[in-house]
Structure 1
C-alpha cells in the first residue's frame, strides 16, 4: 500500500533555487505536511514571507483516494483531488467549473529535497509553472512559510513570528556574504601565487647571462629550440634576425625571489 509517510515533516524553502513564472520570489518559506487522524489523508500548511516582509499562509486537508472533494475556499476552487502516484510522488488537482485550474506536483528528489511544481493558469488565462525546492528540517517549527498554497490569507501573527526569522536571515546572510568574499579573495591570492610560481620556474630554468636585481624589470623570450632566456633588452630593441622565436612577457623580480608578469 502506497503511503505519504515520506512527505510528513517540516520543509524549509530554498528561495534562491525557485523558478517563478507567476508572482515574485519569497524571502523565506516553510511547508508543513502532517498526517490526518483517520490516516487516509494529509494536512498541508503553507506560509511564506515576501521581500516586503508581508506574511501569508494557507492550510487544507486532502484525502488520498483519487476522488473529488469540496474545497473550502470557493473563490479559488470548487473541488480538489489528490492522486498518490508512489511513496515519493503525488499530485493535487484544483477544479473550478469542472476544469483543472491548478496542478501541484510533490516529489522527493534523490538528494532528499522536496520539489513542488505548480502548473496553473493566471487570472488573464495565461499558463504558468512555478517550481520550488525545499529541504527537510530536523524539527517541526510552530509556524510555516512557503509559497505554494492555494488559499492565501494574510496573518498578523505570521508577521510577528517572522520578524525574528527575518532578522536572523538578514544577519546570517550578511555574515555568509562576508565569508564568501573572503574565500573569493583568498582564491584569487592563491591563483596569483600559483601563476608567480609557474612563471618563476620557467625563468629559473631559463638561460641567465647576468644576475637579476630585485625590483628590476626584464624580458622573457623563447628560443627556436623552445628553451627560454632572460634579457635586459626589450623586444623593440632587437635588430633584425634576432635569436629568439617568441617574446613571452615583461617580468619583474620581487623581494621573495618570485617573478611577476608586468
Structure 2
C-alpha cells in the first residue's frame, strides 16, 4: 500500500513525476482541453472554393460559347460565295440567295430586297467580325 499514489498525482515508474511534460491536462485544476471544430472550418473553406471554381467555370463556359459562335460566323462567311477579294477594314453584308446559298456583297440591306444574314468587317487577322445580325441562324 505504501507504493500506491493518490489518483490526482501524475506518476510513472519510468518517468517519475512528469506532469509538466505531458501534452494533456493531468490535474483537476488544469484548463479544459477543447478540440477545435475543424468540420465547420473545412465546410466554409469548401463552400468558398466551390463558389470560386463555379465562377471561373461559368466564365470559361461563356468564353467558349462566344468562341464557338465567332467560329460559326467565320465559317459561314468564308463558305459564302463572293467573286472579289475582301479588303481589310471594309464592311460587307452576307445574304441568303434565292437558291439558299449564302453570298457576300458590298450592297447594304436597305438598298435592296434580299434576306440579310449579317454585317461583317474583315480585320487584319483575316477574321470576320460580326457587326450586326438580322437573325440567329445557328
| TM-score, length of structure 2 as denominator length | 0.59
Please report how far the alpha carbon of residue 232 of structure 1 lies from its aligned counterpart in structure 2 after TM superposition: 2.1
Deviation at 1:213, TM superposition (A): 3.2
Find the aligned partners of 2:45 and 2:106 in 1 and give their Cα distance. 55
Q: Aligned partners of 2:81 and 2:53: how far apart in 1?
A: 44
| C-alpha distance in 1 between matches for 2:51 and 2:125 | 33
Q: Which of 66, 72, 86 is residue 192 of structure 1 equivalent to?
A: 66
Shift of 1:248: 0.6
The residue aligned with 2:39 is 165
**CA distance in structure 2 between the partners assigned to 1:169 and 1:252 by the alignment:** 51
Is the Cα contact below 8 Å between 1:197 and 1:259 reproduced in 2?
Answer: no
Summarize deviations over 1:67-117 as a string: whole Å, max 9, x none: xxxxxxxxxxxxxxxxxxxxxxxxxxxxxxxxxxxxxxxxxxxxxxxxxxx
* Consecutive unaligned residues in structure 2, runs of 5 or more: 1-34, 132-138
User: What SS does structure 2 have at the residue aligned with 1:224?
Assistant: coil
- Conserved 8 A contact 1:219-1:250: yes
What is the CA-CA distance between 1:259 and the residue it aligns to? 2.4
Superposed counterparts of 1:79-118, under 5 Å:
none
Which of 172, 197, 202 in structure 1 is aligned with 2:76?
202
Task: From the CA coordinates, give the structure whose radius of gyration is larger.
Answer: 2
Q: Partner residue of 1:179? A: 53
Residue 250 of structure 1 aligns to a residue in which SS? strand
Shift >6 Å, 4+ stretches: none
Tell me which residue corresponds to 1:231.
Answer: 105
Map 1:1-262 onto structure 2 (within 5 A).
161-162=36-37, 164-238=38-112, 242=113, 244=114, 246-262=115-131
Q: What secondary structure sits across from 1:260 in the alignment?
A: strand
1:192 shift after superposition: 1.3
Please give the TM-score of this superposition, normalised by the length of structure 1. 0.33
3-state SS, counterpart of residue 40 of structure 2 = helix
Q: Kindly tell me: are residues 214 and 186 of structure 1, through their superposed partners in 2, closer, same or farther at Cα, counting changes over 3 Å? A: farther
Distance in 1, matches of 2:52 and 2:88, equals 36
* Structure 1 runs not aligned, ≥5 long: 1-159
- Matched residue of 1:249: which SS? strand
Equivalent-residue separation in structure 1 for 2:56 and 2:101 (angstroms): 39
- Call closer, same or farther: CA 1:254–1:181 in 2, change over 3 Å: farther
Match of 1:13 in 2: none
